[in-house]
Structure 1
Amino acid sequence: MFNREYRNARFLIVDGNTQLRLALEKMLKSFGAWYIDMAADGDEAINKCEHGLFDVVICDYQLSGRNGQHVLEELRERKILRYTSLFVMMSAETTREMVLAAIDHQPDAYINKPITSDVLKQRLDNLLVDNEVLYELKHAIDMERWSEAISRCEEKIARGSKYLRWCEKTVAELYFQTGALHEALRVYQQVLSERTLIWAQVGVARVHIAQADYDLAEELLRKVVAAAPNCLVAYDLLARVLVDTHRGKEAQEWLVDAVSLSPTAILRHARLGDIAWDNQDVDCAVEAFRNAVELGRKSIFDRLENHLGFSRSLCERAGALPKVMREAALQETVEVLRNIDERFVMNDAARFQYEVVAAKTCSMLKHEEERDERLARAETYYQSVGLSLPSARVMEYAQVLLASGKDLEAEFILSQLSLMHGDEPELQKRIEEMRDEPVSPAARQKAAELNKQGIKLAEQDDLKGAVAAFNEALEYSARHPALNLNLAQVLLKQLSSSPNDGAARRACAACFDRIIHIKPTHKQYPRFQHLRSKFEGTYGDGVEAQSAG
């Protein structure tokens, strides 16, 4: 091996151990290297790469603060480290978890510690020679000259280069990224006609997904997972197919399996959180977003949307807890929101989401003044970005407005949303359900369970127990028509034997007041009219006198 590649290359050594950095520097100098810089941690390494060009970064995985994978991800994601540069990861133990965590950005090589001069030189010799041969092709990719890069790849493939497989994989990816799906498919299928390679099968599946050929993609991805259970990109793609074909719960199951195999992959945890939220699995969403937030503290993938998802799911879960536990649970939401406000610069759309979650939290904590201030700010941001927001975010806003007694404002938002999405029957159904019950699915389920309990107690003539069950249910869903009417009906039965019970009269009147919003077309409206007329005809004056007294 000639020393030319080492003399021309600029090296950066990243390790927290001073003696090891000096030992590696000595080895590189003995290979012919002369431009060698060093960094003690990830932050220093990124800073040096921002202010200088390096051809080879040799980085320890177990750094303090950011680990080696965090460093690699930030350098590649921000395009600080060029495609022509090499990244070599050192580790005392190259674990499966470490390798599987590298979803989008993988090092060019792993080297296990302790490192000997012979092992390091052999590995670097091969990498530098390969890089020299492929330099012009890689440089074209760095400069985003896609046609040139594709042409150079095809030329090497035609010549039967020793880098044939690398060029085939690279050119197929370039075709895919530039939208030439048929060309990408041609390359992948040519590779598979010669040899069954996992990356080519995954590539074919990606093309099928891009072409909306979901059946073919799913069939192939299931075969890939069966043959290579550690191919986590296949899990990710399969989850995407399942979501796109309205099978979100199965998609969630696949991602749960994937994160169990690779528990440090931040992007996968975040995706799991999104899918679990859509599936109304709040507990899973909380833990997935928690993992994404905690693992992402030192990562380029520490994204605002993960923190917002975490705060939203925490708040939602608190709403399904018994009243005595709710306040303590909401304190974590408050802390997450405070952290968001301190750490992130938010655009109007993000600030709108932030204020809605904060208002909902204040509402549940009975901090009504702060809640109204938050809702006023949310309204300002909504006027700016409302038409571009996803319907789910707008529904959350309407939910908080309804729960805060701001029915007119909520009705305006829901009517606007209904007009914009008139061709989506499922959304129209959710809008109608929200008018009745502006609470989380988990709170709705808890209210339903207590409602059933109250009905059973009423049938057993345990009126006191039924009233207690219905009142507890109302703590989860105060505006639900059937629930309020069930309570009113039991209270009327109590009043038939105790007509002077002022507390029961006021409670019954409150039931009707809470559902005054229902329209004549509502299925509970005839019952509402009947019970209210019965109550007012018999006890109405007494309630007013009692209230006045």
Structure 2
Amino acid sequence: MTRTTIGNAVGNAPLGGQARMPVLVVDDFHNMRSTLRQMLLTAGYEDIDMAVDGEDAVDKMQRRRYEIVLCDYNLGEGLDGQQVLDVVRERRLIDLSTLFIMVTAETTSDMVMGAVESMPDGYLSKPFSKDLLAVRLARGLRRKQALKHLDPFLRLGDLEGAIREAGRMLRDGEGRVADLLRLRALWAWNTGDLSLAREAATASWEDSRPAWAGVLLADLDAQAGDAEAAEAGYREVMRETPQFMPAHDHLARLLERQGHGPEAMEVLRIAAERSPKSLARQRFLGELALVHGDAELALQAWRRAIRIARQMGQSHPADAAGRIAALIASGASRNARQAIRDLDRDFASHPERAWYSVLARLRLAAGGASDERDSALRELEALPDEAMPEPVRKPLQRVLEALGVQS
């Protein structure tokens, strides 16, 4: 048996024991849920749960571990399929060995680029047959089930143990080499073992030049202080795999740190247009656009960020404050005043609301609304400095300097 994969001898047939594998079907249409259920039963899968939307799917994955998730991309209001995958990964609600397949009839660029970024384990384009579903599940399971040895380590947060086990699997010829090298490289980076991270990423890059390996090698160059090599590495990945958006994001961060803010903003603007559903990207773009005087771009980015955060249940007063700053910069002071009232109402119970509210009011004062200055400064004086959120410090210092107030 080769090291490339396990189980090749069984062809495309499902793995044994699939009847006992818990499966979650996520679709907002009853007929499609019923159709998928019948297809799965025909293929030999018997333990099947249903979720009617993204929030229901996350709730079910909080209560049970599934080995297969079939998730429609378009789930109506709330979370879409990409966001479901992002959320459950972030909360560690699915295992490394879980097979997550995106089901979609959409071909819009937003969906395609978003799916590329989230990297599910496979895609199924509607319509498809029960035979195609069975084949795709069997193939996916052979790849993913090989990673079951690593799940216990990850559930305990033991990345060092996972790295050692992945190394053993490589030596013993278990699992796909490409998967194990990627995991070892990323885990080594997260644990600070930069030598191992470079070794594994280099092996992958020299073998098949996957985009993740090129970006990680550029990250390692940046970490080592070689900004020139890092920039060249990011740009090489962008040329070879332009749809891999992390290369754009990391290049923008590097350019910003080097003092090339407008260039960083342009790189990020292009990335956000190609793949607009990343919350982190929209927030970063909003910040850069504000700093570099592009109020229209900042307003667009913060509006998108607020919408995405609301869908994902991650709304934060910082996003509202960013939008308010963009409104002020664009000369829409009246709209900014209303937005401040909305911030105070929508985040009344949020522990950081007061900081972002006073920052917004001081920005309004610096923009010419002198009636806000004194009351906002009094409110700031009453807030405990030790409780100030870190993201507030620099913008607060800048606005106080603009007002001629010593911080």
| TM-score range relative to shorter protein | 0.7 to 0.9
**Aligned residue number for residue 65 of structure 2:** 53
Q: CA deviation at 1:232?
A: 1.6
Alignment match, 2:357:
354
Contact 1:276 1:282 in 2 (8 A): yes
Aligned twin of 1:259: 272
Q: Once superposed, what is the RMSD of the aligned Cα atoms?
A: 2.5
Q: TM-score, normalised by structure 1?
A: 0.66
Q: Secondary structure, in 3 states, of the residue corresponding to 1:90?
A: strand
> Unmatched 5+ residue regions in structure 1?
319-328, 403-409, 414-549
Q: Deviations over 1:470-503 (max 9, x none)?
A: xxxxxxxxxxxxxxxxxxxxxxxxxxxxxxxxxx
Separation of aligned partners in 1, 2:34 and 2:363: 56
Match of 1:525 in 2: none
**Alpha carbons 2:96, 2:150 under 8 Å: kept:** no
Residues 518-529 of structure 1: pairs in structure 2 closer than 5 A: none
Partner letter of residue 166 of structure 2?
C
Whole-angstrom CA distance in 1 between matches of 2:152 and 2:338: 46
How far apart are 1:364 and its partner, in Å?
A: 6.5
Q: Partners of 1:377 and 1:235 in 2: how far apart?
A: 40
1:265 CA drift (Å): 2.6
Aligned-partner SS, 2:76: coil
AA aligned opposite 1:88: I
Question: Where does residue 19 of structure 1 map in the other structure?
Answer: 31
| Greater relative contact order, per chain length (Cα 8 Å cut-off, separation 6+) | 2
Contact 2:328–2:364 (CA<8 Å) still a contact in 1?
Answer: yes
Aligned partner of 2:306 in structure 1 is 293
- Does the Cα contact within 8 Å between 1:58 and 1:90 map onto a contact in 2? yes
1:9 corresponds to: 21
| Pair 1:157–1:108, CA change in 2 (3 A) | same
Residues 385-432 of structure 1: CA distance to partner in whole angstroms, max 9, x if unpaired? Answer: 4696533322313545x5xxxxxxx24x2xxxxxxxxxxxxxxxxxxx
Distance 1:383 1:194 in 2: 52
Tell which structure's C-alpha radius of gyration is larger.
Answer: 1
Give the alignment of 1:374-413 within 5 angstroms: 374-381=376-383, 383-385=385-387, 390-400=393-403, 402=404, 410-411=405-406, 413=407
- Aligned ranges for residues 336-351 of structure 1 at < 5 Å? 336-344=339-347, 345-348=349-352, 351=354
* Cα distance between partner residues in 1 of 2:123 and 2:211: 21
After TM superposition, give the deviation of residue 3 of structure 1 in Å: 6.3
What is the aligned counterpart of 2:206 among 175, 187, 193?
A: 193
**CA 1:197 to 1:279, structure 2 compared with 1: closer, same or farther past 3 Å?**
same
Is 1:37 the counterpart of 2:33? The answer is no
| Aligned-residue offset at 1:255 | 0.8
Identity of matched residues, %:
26
Q: Structure 2 counterpart of 1:352, which letter?
A: W
Asked if the contact 2:26–2:33 (Cα under 8 Å) also holds between the matched residues in 1, the reply is yes
Tell me which moved more, 391-400 or 213-222.
391-400
Contact 1:74-1:300 within 8 A present in 2 as well = no
Alpha-carbon deviation of 1:359?
Answer: 4.7
Would the alpha carbon gap of residues 181 and 99 (structure 1) be closer, same or farther in structure 2, given more than 3 Å must change?
farther
Greater fraction of residues in helix: 1
Deviation of the 1:247 alpha carbon:
0.7
- How far apart, in 1, do the equivalents of 2:316 and 2:19 lie? 40
Query: TM-score, structure 2 length as denominator?
Result: 0.87
What is the aligned counterpart of 1:184 among 197, 211, 225? 197
Between stretches 195-204 and 238-247, larger displacement belongs to 195-204
| Matches of 1:294 and 1:334, distance apart in 2 | 20
Amino acid at match of 2:65: L
Unaligned residue ranges in structure 2 (runs of 5+): 1-12
| 1:143 equivalenced with 2:156 (yes/no) | yes
Q: Mark the CA change 1:381 to 1:34 in structure 2 (over 3 Å): closer, same or farther.
A: same
